[in-house]
A and B are shown apart, each in its own frame.
Chain A
Amino acid sequence: DAKTTQPPSMDCAEGRAANLPCNHSTISGNEYVYWYRQIHSQGPQYIIHGLKNNETNEMASLIITEDRKSSTLILPHATLRDTAVYYCIVRVAYTGNQFYFGTGTSLTVIP
């Protein structure tokens, strides 16, 4: 599975959009981009995933560049409860479904 690169930490003001970047320059054509987050002392939680097209759900939006070498997770109106470590993972959908997490981005939402 392709490696990802994320900034180690970011801050965001409460109520503003949080834009979390992820670089996956070696992504293959059949690899999806997944985002999970982990709030302190809890297990990781699924946020969103996509292949080529931009995706949106009730939690976030995922913007994938046309060449698929990078993506951005957008939390449109960050709240204090969004403070967490965010993991960007790329993985082929049809393998054993285990995820290879990196170190993620620690997002702190500031009041």
Chain B
Amino acid sequence: GAGVSQTPSNKVTEKGKYVELRCDPISGHTALYWYRQSLGQGPEFLIYFQGTGAADDSGLPNDRFFAVRPEGSVSTLKIQRTERGDSAVYLCASSLMSGGGYNEQFFGPGTRLTVL
């Protein structure tokens, strides 16, 4: 079956521009997560959705970052006024449920964002 997909796979933008990164989770997975991974580092948690609502957005670095999941499936990570420090691979993961017990997170391939 289809795994987690992310588009675009690569995005190059200029400092100050707005970008949107899309995540299509595995069908039926109610939990969705965004992570950011800088070169040589492990993934860093950004935000987690349970259904349509953001259950934990404590990892978002500042108010330039925002994510939505309006219908409880596809999610979009939005970054305003991009800065060079935002350059990283943005990973999305989904799992069957959350809040009780362990549920394996399935990761997508990531979107590589480069801010010039």
Contacts and interface: CB of A to CB of B under 8 A. Distances in A.
B108 A43 contact: yes
A49 B109 contact: no
A44 B33 CA distance: 13
Contacts of A32: 102
Contacts of A104: 42
B93 A43 contact: yes
A97 B95 contact: yes
Given A43-B91, A43-B93, A44-B107, A98 B42 contact: no
A99 B99 contact: no
B114 interface: no
A91 B48 CA distance: 15
Given A43-B91, A46-B105, A96 B98 contact: yes
Interface residues of B, number: 30
A94 B103 CA distance: 10
A97 B48 contact: yes
B1 interface: no
Contacts of A101: 35, 42-44
B42 A43 contact: no
B55 interface: yes
Interface of B: 4, 31, 33, 35, 40-45, 48, 55-56, 59, 91, 93, 95, 98-110
22 contacts: A32-B102, A34-B102, A42-B109, A42-B110, A43-B109, A44-B43, A44-B91, A46-B104, A87-B42, A93-B101, A93-B102, A96-B48, A96-B56, A97-B103, A97-B105, A98-B56, A98-B59, A100-B45, A101-B35, A101-B44, A102-B42, A103-B41
Considering the complex of A and B, which 10 residue pairs feature the smallest CB-CB distances, nearest first?
Answer: A43-B107, A101-B42, A98-B45, A97-B98, A96-B56, A46-B104, A101-B43, A44-B107, A98-B48, A96-B48
